[in-house]
């Protein structure tokens, strides 16, 4: 990029006329050159999978305040950067490739007073309009200082998208990216606009960080690392791919030329009145939660202008779900008391006498603890035309999941470990103000482990079934969870993007990306190899059998897109087209009815290579400014997504058990891409002062969703296989009222009404339906999906005084989710998701007080989740429709264990997290 700090200022008067003439003489030649360049760019384009905008644009017009004429050649500089522009013959200017944030822009021209505009906001993929009127210089020259305001309506927003800045995140009672996402309109429990989980693309600094194995976000991006975060829940441009429901696009902090740092620490506990549900949790007696975080940025002093940014965090939470060590893993299930001849000894009622062993100490044991370490870092080297960036993300997690059945043998549950590394290197080249391109390379490694004990043959292992209950409503009384797995995803990404402002009206973007993967998955189970009770009989079956399978796969993806953003006075048009290519690089059985490879049938054992999958996706978004305070937008698009890789490769050894019950599931590497067609119409309107309305109506038609088929083999054995068969339909509207911060407060209200229906919520529904005899009939009409929450309301409220104090409140309300009622209460007829769970609501609070001592910023803060200690019912009994209320305990039969029926029914995992109280301090400079 040119160094605009050294631009020569244009003279006034006669020189202005000559300059206008020169501009006009060059205009035809420049336009021709741009057209030729544009054609060449189209010619050299190759593919991309998941791109992301990471910058915005400042554009506007510089005019004379008295005459209204253009100030030709006015210099526009972004203070503290190499970025700037010169106004053209019409006074128009634009500055592309501006990282999101707030900037000070300086406008100067000979013969005019200098104008400084402070706090100019720049958002991802959007244009900030900055029109400036300059006053002719008087005898006493002066500088005009203006504070920019964030527009209440965004002229070039053609679909539903919300950007959250670093300053806004600081005021929210949130600690993670997931919490921020769930506060956005149209998002319900991680489901974007009625889509299934795993249909969202997660990107950091323009590169994918989604684990393609299961569609999750394994990376821990700390709030202090976020410069700006964009959540797109509507249609999205052609630059985004491998997503059907939404996009989460995070841009991280760069280093600075001055040293800045912060350190914070807090501790807290669960304070609740519901001690009857949550044992060992109540008053603030200890700090179960501890959190320490630091960040530091500045010049490296090694090479000028090399800067760095680093943040680290340690988080430890013992959790709120406790078990009680009534049994140890060495204990066994109750067994009959027998005499010397092996006959059962009976009690006075002629019932067998059972011996119950329990060697536990009755102490409380946390069953959902979490421990996490994370580091995010970045090095940035900026030159006028080049920018080099290296980023690293690392996190290491350990946790356990609460399992109510094991709550009296809490030491027997598995440990889950995750360790992730992401290294990325980016080069940005800005040869001119009109053109910039980036080349990015990233290697992402996601590593997962799970087991009860790390050592395969740990002497603490016992027969995995020795503590299984022998009666209903009875806790596990010994043993341990004996499954193990090791899983690794290594993703390599090579991406190229180019953006060209080919004319005043058109900005064209092209991209190219190649991704190649290495997937490794090994799952196996400790089993009793012989019917004996000695440790020597415990072990693992041979690799390639039903209880011990592993695979390594190397899928590749490739895609391409072209996007044009046309900014006319009467409308803004975003039009794009993308091409996607996927190769599973795996094979499947030629004869699906012969997985046992019986040679009596043709093609026994023959494998077929999965074909490559390709598709084109058109995208269109149009924004119509009806007034300077009102905008209508329309968007439409086709969105494709390859199913999660886990569904393609599960049971790659094609092992089908010959048991009479349905138990085997095979993956399908020949799956097609799932498809969504989405429409959206919306209105942005300033109502009064600092208050704006956003109203959006949307519709989604979802096809080729992942489902299953049941295949009957030649030998009469059934197994299930993944196919594209499910479908869905979502429609709804969103109302947002946004009151910008003024008069010491701001507020935002998001209301979503949505109907999410389909033939199945779970891809494995057909498998589960065929577990009974006769099987449950598969749905042939739409039914409410499990996450079909008809009404969702989020209200955030912030009030305070800058650099003094701040208080933020968030209120959430959700109507009840559907559930399938027990046929005993629905007159023997099964209506899938015909019942409705109770509604939920929640209030979170964050309060801060700031101090300054000799240039050092200090703060104390209070964070309270579930301020009102609300007992929301997440899971309900199919008969009663309420959590922990079972209507049929009277037919439970005899219990063979130490617990009562009510102790078993009283499951704290069915209730929302109780009140959490945290206090902390922070220091910054």
| Burial call 315-327: b when 16+ CB within 10 Å, e when fewer | bbbbbbbbbbbbb
Position 18 pLDDT exceeds 50: no
- Report the candidate in 888, 768, 764 with the shortest Cα–Cα distance to residue 823: 888
- In this prediction, residue 826 carries a pLDDT of 72
Residue that wins the pLDDT comparison between 531 and 869: 869
The C-alpha atoms of residue 644 and residue 49 are separated, in whole angstroms, by 15
- In this prediction, residue 723 carries a pLDDT of 97
- In this prediction, residue 621 carries a pLDDT of 96
| Preceding amide of 868 cis, omega within 30 | no
pLDDT band at 901 (very low <50, low <70, confident <90, very high): very high
Chain centroid to CA 327: 39
CB 616 within 8 A of CB 579: yes
CB 264 within 8 A of CB 293: yes
- In this prediction, residue 145 carries a pLDDT of 86
pLDDT tens readout for residues 673-727 = 999 999 999 999 999 889 999 999 999 999 999 999 999 999 999 999 999 999 9
pLDDT tens readout for residues 74-106 = 999 999 888 999 999 999 999 998 999 999 999
Which residue is listed with tokens 């080249």?
A: 429
- In this prediction, residue 138 carries a pLDDT of 72
Q: What are φ and ψ of residue 497, in 5° steps? A: -135, 150
> What percentage of the chain has pLDDT greater than the value 90?
75
pLDDT tens readout for residues 533-586 = 444 578 899 999 989 999 999 999 999 999 999 999 899 999 999 999 999 999
- In this prediction, residue 10 carries a pLDDT of 36
Q: What are φ and ψ of residue 19, in 5° steps? A: -65, -45
Q: Which two tokens stand for residue 514?
A: 């190649």
The C-alpha atoms of residue 567 and residue 61 are separated, in whole angstroms, by 14
The C-alpha atoms of residue 522 and residue 457 are separated, in whole angstroms, by 17
- In this prediction, residue 50 carries a pLDDT of 42
- In this prediction, residue 536 carries a pLDDT of 58
Residue that wins the pLDDT comparison between 21 and 810: 810
> What percentage of the chain has pLDDT greater than the value 70?
93
- In this prediction, residue 45 carries a pLDDT of 36
Q: Which two tokens stand for residue 688?
A: 């009064």
Q: Which two tokens stand for residue 279?
A: 């044992």
Position 47 pLDDT exceeds 50: no
Alpha helices in 538-691 (DSSP H): 645-649
Position 476 pLDDT exceeds 70: yes
The C-alpha atoms of residue 657 and residue 124 are separated, in whole angstroms, by 52
Q: What are φ and ψ of residue 119, in 5° steps? A: 55, 50
CB 736 within 8 A of CB 722: no
| Preceding amide of 643 cis, omega within 30 | no
Secondary structure class of 204 (helix, strand, coil): strand
DSSP 8-class letter at 82: S
- In this prediction, residue 704 carries a pLDDT of 96
- Segment among 152-156, 221-225, 727-731 with least mean pLDDT: 152-156
The number of residues making up the chain comes to: 925
Average pLDDT rounded to a whole number, residues 230-250: 94
Q: How many CB atoms within 10 Å of residue 8?
A: 9
CB 130 within 8 A of CB 59: yes
pLDDT band at 531 (very low <50, low <70, confident <90, very high): low
- Segment among 16-20, 155-159, 197-201, 243-247 with least mean pLDDT: 16-20
Mean of pLDDT over the chain: 90
CB 212 within 8 A of CB 201: no
- Segment among 359-373, 542-556, 653-667 with least mean pLDDT: 653-667
Residue that wins the pLDDT comparison between 28 and 616: 616
CB 185 within 8 A of CB 734: yes
Average pLDDT rounded to a whole number, residues 1-15: 38
pLDDT band at 52 (very low <50, low <70, confident <90, very high): low
pLDDT tens readout for residues 295-345 = 999 999 899 899 999 999 999 999 999 999 999 999 999 988 888 888 888
């Amino acid at each position: 990029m040119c160094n605009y700090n050294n631009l020569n200022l244009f003279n006034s008067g006669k020189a202005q006329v000559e300059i206008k003439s020169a501009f006009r003489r060059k205009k035809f030649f420049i336009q021709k050159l741009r057209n030729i360049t544009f054609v060449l760019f189209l010619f050299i384009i190759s593919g991309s999978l998941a791109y992301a905008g990471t910058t915005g644009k400042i554009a506007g017009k510089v005019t004379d305040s008295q005459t209204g004429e253009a100030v030709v050649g006015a210099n526009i500089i972004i203070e503290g950067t190499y970025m700037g522009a010169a106004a053209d013959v019409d006074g128009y200017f634009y500055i592309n490739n501006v990282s999101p944030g707030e900037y000070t822009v300086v406008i100067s021209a000979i013969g005019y007073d200098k104008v400084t505009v402070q706090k100019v906001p720049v958002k991802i993929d959007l244009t900030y309009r900055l029109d400036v009127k300059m006053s002719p210089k008087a005898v006493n020259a002066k500088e005009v200082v203006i504070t920019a305001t964030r527009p209440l309506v965004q002229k070039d927003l053609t679909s539903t998208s919300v950007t959250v800045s670093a300053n806004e995140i600081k005021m929210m009672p949130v600690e993670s990216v997931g919490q921020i996402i769930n506060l956005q309109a149209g998002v319900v429990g991680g489901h974007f606009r009625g889509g299934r989980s795993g249909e969202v693309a997660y990107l950091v600094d323009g590169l994918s960080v989604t684990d393609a194995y299961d569609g999750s976000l394994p990376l821990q991006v700390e709030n202090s690392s976020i410069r700006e975060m964009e959540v797109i829940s509507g249609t999205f441009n052609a630059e985004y791919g491998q997503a059907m429901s939404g996009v989460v696009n995070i841009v991280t902090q760069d280093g600075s030329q001055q040293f800045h740092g912060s350190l914070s620490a807090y501790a807290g506990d669960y304070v609740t009145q519901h001690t009857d549900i949550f044992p060992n949790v109540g008053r603030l007696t200890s700090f179960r939660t501890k959190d320490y975080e630091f960040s530091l940025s500045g010049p490296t002093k090694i090479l000028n202008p090399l800067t760095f940014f680093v943040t680290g965090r340690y988080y430890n939470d013992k959790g709120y779900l406790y078990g009680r060590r009534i049994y140890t893993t060495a204990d066994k299930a109750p067994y009959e008391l027998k005499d010397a001849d092996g006959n059962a000894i009976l009690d006075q009622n002629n019932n067998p006498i059972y011996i119950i062993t329990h060697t536990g100490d009755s102490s409380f044991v946390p069953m959902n603890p979490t421990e996490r370490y994370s580091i995010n870092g970045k090095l940035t080297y900026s030159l006028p035309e080049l920018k080099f960036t290296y980023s690293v993300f690392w996190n290491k997690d350990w946790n356990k999941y609460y399992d109510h059945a094991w709550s009296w043998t809490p030491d027997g549950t598995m440990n889950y470990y995750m360790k992730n590394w992401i290294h990325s290197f980016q080069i940005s080249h800005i040869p001119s103000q009109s053109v910039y391109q980036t080349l990015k390379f990233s290697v992402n490694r996601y590593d997962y482990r799970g087991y009860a004990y790390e050592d395969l043959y740990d002497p603490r292992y016992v027969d995995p079934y020795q503590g299984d209950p022998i009666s209903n409503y009875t806790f596990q009384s010994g043993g341990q969870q004996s499954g193990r797995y090791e899983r690794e995803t290594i993703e390599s990404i090579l991406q190229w993007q180019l953006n060209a402002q080919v004319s005043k009206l058109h900005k064209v973007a092209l991209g190219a990306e190649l991704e190649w993967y290495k997937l490794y998955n090994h799952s196996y189970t400790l089993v009793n190899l012989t019917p004996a009770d000695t440790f020597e009989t415990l072990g693992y079956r041979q690799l390639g059998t039903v209880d011990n399978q592993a695979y390594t796969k190397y899928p590749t993806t490739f895609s391409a897109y072209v996007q044009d953003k046309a900014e006319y006075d009467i409308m803004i048009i975003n039009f794009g087209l993308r091409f996607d290519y996927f190769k599973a690089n795996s094979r499947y059985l030629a004869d699906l009815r012969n997985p046992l490879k019986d040679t009596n049938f043709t093609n026994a054992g023959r494998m077929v290579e999965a074909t490559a999958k390709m598709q084109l996706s058109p995208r269109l978004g149009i924004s119509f400014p009806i007034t300077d305070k009102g905008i209508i937008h329309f968007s439409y698009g086709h969105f494709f997504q390859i199913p999660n890789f886990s569904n393609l490769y599960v049971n790659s050894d094609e092992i089908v058990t010959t048991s009479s019950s349905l138990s085997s599931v095979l993956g399908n590497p020949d799956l097609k891409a799932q498809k969504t067609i989405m429409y959206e119409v919306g209105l942005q309107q300033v109502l009064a002062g600092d208050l704006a309305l956003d109203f959006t109506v949307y519709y989604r038609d979802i096809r080729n969703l992942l489902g299953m088929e049941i295949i009957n083999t030649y030998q009469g054995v059934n197994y299930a296989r993944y196919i594209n068969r499910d479908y869905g339909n979502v429609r709804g509207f969103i109302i947002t009222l946004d009151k910008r911060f003024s008069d010491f407060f701001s507020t935002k209200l998001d209301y979503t009404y949505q109907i999410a229906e389909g033939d199945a919520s779970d891809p494995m529904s057909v498998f589960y339906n065929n577990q009974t005899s006769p099987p449950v009939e598969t749905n042939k009409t739409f039914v409410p999906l499990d996450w079909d929450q008809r009404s969702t309301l989020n209200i955030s409220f912030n009030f305070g005084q800058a650099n003094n104090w701040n208080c933020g409140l968030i209120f959430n309300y959700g109507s009840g989710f559907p559930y399938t009622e027990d046929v005993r209460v629905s007159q023997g007829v099964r209506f899938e998701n015909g019942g409705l769970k109770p509604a939920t609501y929640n209030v979170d609070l964050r309060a801060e007080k700031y101090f300054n001592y000799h240039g050092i910023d200090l703060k104390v803060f209070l964070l309270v989740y579930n301020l009102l200690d609300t007992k929301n019912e997440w899971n309900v009994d199919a008969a009663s429709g309420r959590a922990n209320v079972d209507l049929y305990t009277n037919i439970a039969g005899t219990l063979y264990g130490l617990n009562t029926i009510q102790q078993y029914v009283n499951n704290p995992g069915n209730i929302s997290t109780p009140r959490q109280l945290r206090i902390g301090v922070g220091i910054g400079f």
